[in-house]
Structure 1
């Protein structure tokens, strides 16, 4: 018999789901029964069902900062989502709700507040996303990853916890990583990842410069669904995947350098693994700029170097210069990461959950 019950929520990208999974083993140790509320067709549905956690679906509207005709219909989806979440919470009677953000979380957090169920939310990025801004008034506490984030949170609700990191990501085997890729020489390995959906601009730059890069590196390229380049399938030293799951810890362990977007979850995993990284944050033209702030914070701490996406697109070959800089700064970056005080946020978040639980 479980001592407590927790409903987790969050979705839209893998970054709103995988930190939830990082908490699951510790929550089970504390005697929690765990259930999940997500959207009907978001990425979270597949990830949570794979993890064998009972999953409820609700309607989910999107909140946009720009004009879109759907802005007139989505509020009704949110209202419907609140009603659906309320029904689930009434039936399940959880002791607490944990929200990782994303648009699906907002109706769940509001419904929990209306039912007087405490909510602990978590924000990975340096500045809170729109969903977490909307959810903050209905949350008991909002856990944050960056110290700088505390100034954006009102009413003393902010708690610095760091971000939860999955245990399995830290337990890779480099020999297994090389075996998966078929690498059997001593070339350094460059690992490229553009987030769970891939990154078109990064993919194009890597492939444009593939001949030069293969002179110095073996390359592991996670390019996103539908983004494989068939013409490169036979290139020696170049291995591409649409998406990896079980293999990821081994591939990361084998990597000498990483090129990545700057979502908070991935950069803190790379910090924990002490991987010298070139961060290429999403351009402000297509995002709210949160990745740019994350990347700048990591550059300031001496954990990574940064390349502006627009500059990369406009300046042919600059990516090669930045990779050269990355190699030159390898030891400096690793030393700074070793000296970092940032640790896995799992225990700190569990403590916040236990303190705010409805007995």
Structure 2
């Protein structure tokens, strides 16, 4: 039985693609282990899946000055020693890294032990952790065509692994969950738990006009429900949607979303026409702006920059995308990288094969 070590953490975006790989890896007979941080979100998510979890120390790699920068190099060094010990004991055939700070010592330790490594980068430009870790990788799987120019010959366009359950949603169940009683098309709004204030505000200010055409299902983030709008017929708010998310997706005719890479991968895989409002550079390193620009260039999305967001522009963009929904859907369905799960699985099989393992990273 072949052994694979998955790693990645810090945010759900560094974990959920790993989780998406689990059913196929299990079906193919892999013995799966996970290396993550001691306190990160990945520990709880992975342990729910019944995967053996090995916790190591992890220091954050910051581009700005803080006193924590004095401590964190020692955490990284200690994490490297812990990862080296775990990998030496497990002896995996391959390591798959989804990124995040905890992945750096794991990838570097794997390279020292001559264990082949695959990295996945979701955003157009690699983050700092993946930039460092890429030196130890045999292959770098990417989500956007533009990323290939940043990662060189190791790069391969795979798309992002998508959880199988997202494809099994039921439209009728989604409508019932949202307590919608008419047949108007459904606008699904996902602002994200972070940076959702501006999207939530613009959406609510535009509700009266939007509700003339659409039902609106609004996943507004923890603590962001506004009960003043409960009286609006056709408008349903949720802080968060978990197991029912596939049904909500199935019910959606159009989406308004931020431009996080994993959310975009799901939108494309499910072929949902969409309007994107990427986080501004004031709130991020600008990766969402680049992600959204790529989506628009490929014909998948219409983009409104956060600085330009207003009621009139928002309503106009949503109505325009909905009027051309079939065009957007058809373009996304033709995408050849939307089966990210199988594409990544095939790279794992290739890199872990005996003839490939003997080659240097």
With normalisation by structure 2, the TM-score equals 0.92
What residue is the counterpart of 1:41 in the other structure? 39
Aligned ranges for residues 243-282 of structure 1 at < 5 Å?
Answer: 243-282=240-279
What residue is the counterpart of 1:355 in the other structure? 350
Q: Distance in 1 between matches of 2:196 and 2:41?
A: 17
Q: Distance in 1 between matches of 2:325 and 2:134?
A: 39
Aligned ranges for residues 102-251 of structure 1 at < 5 Å?
Answer: 102-154=100-152, 156-195=153-192, 197=194, 199-251=196-248
Q: Distance in 1 between matches of 2:87 and 2:231?
A: 52
Q: By how many angstroms is 1:233 displaced?
A: 4.1
Q: Is the 8 A contact 2:268 2:338 kept in 1?
A: no
3-state SS of paired residue (1:286): coil
- Shifted more, 173-182 versus 268-277: the winner is 268-277
Change (3 A) 1:42 1:234: farther
Change (3 A) 1:180 1:20: same
With normalisation by structure 1, the TM-score equals 0.92
Give ranges in structure 1 of 5+ residues lacking alignment: none
What residue is the counterpart of 1:73 in the other structure? 71
3-state SS of paired residue (1:216): coil
Q: By how many angstroms is 1:135 displaced?
A: 0.4
Q: Superposition RMSD on alpha carbons, in Å?
A: 1.9
Structure 1 residue corresponding to 2:287, chosen from 273, 287, 290? 290
In the alignment of these two chains, the number of paired residues is 354
Q: By how many angstroms is 1:316 displaced?
A: 5.0
Q: Distance in 2 between matches of 1:333 and 1:182?
A: 27
Deviations 1:146-174 (A, max 9, x none): 222111114x2212222212211111110
- Shifted more, 251-260 versus 114-123: the winner is 114-123
- Shifted more, 62-71 versus 143-152: the winner is 62-71
Q: Distance in 2 between matches of 1:191 and 1:87?
A: 46
3-state SS of paired residue (1:67): coil
Change (3 A) 1:54 1:72: same
Q: Is the 8 A contact 2:337 2:343 kept in 1?
A: no
Q: By how many angstroms is 1:333 displaced?
A: 1.5
Q: By how many angstroms is 1:358 displaced?
A: 7.0
Q: Is the 8 A contact 2:273 2:328 kept in 1?
A: yes
Q: Distance in 2 between matches of 1:144 and 1:286?
A: 24
Change (3 A) 1:247 1:86: same
Q: Distance in 1 between matches of 2:250 and 2:132?
A: 38
Q: Distance in 1 between matches of 2:336 and 2:346?
A: 19
Structure 2 residue corresponding to 1:84, chosen from 82, 98, 101? 82
Deviations 1:66-124 (A, max 9, x none): 23332222222211221222222223222211100111111111121222211111111
Q: Is the 8 A contact 1:94 1:117 kept in 2?
A: yes
Q: Distance in 1 between matches of 2:139 and 2:202?
A: 42
Deviations 1:276-326 (A, max 9, x none): 1001111112222221111111111111100101221xx454322222222
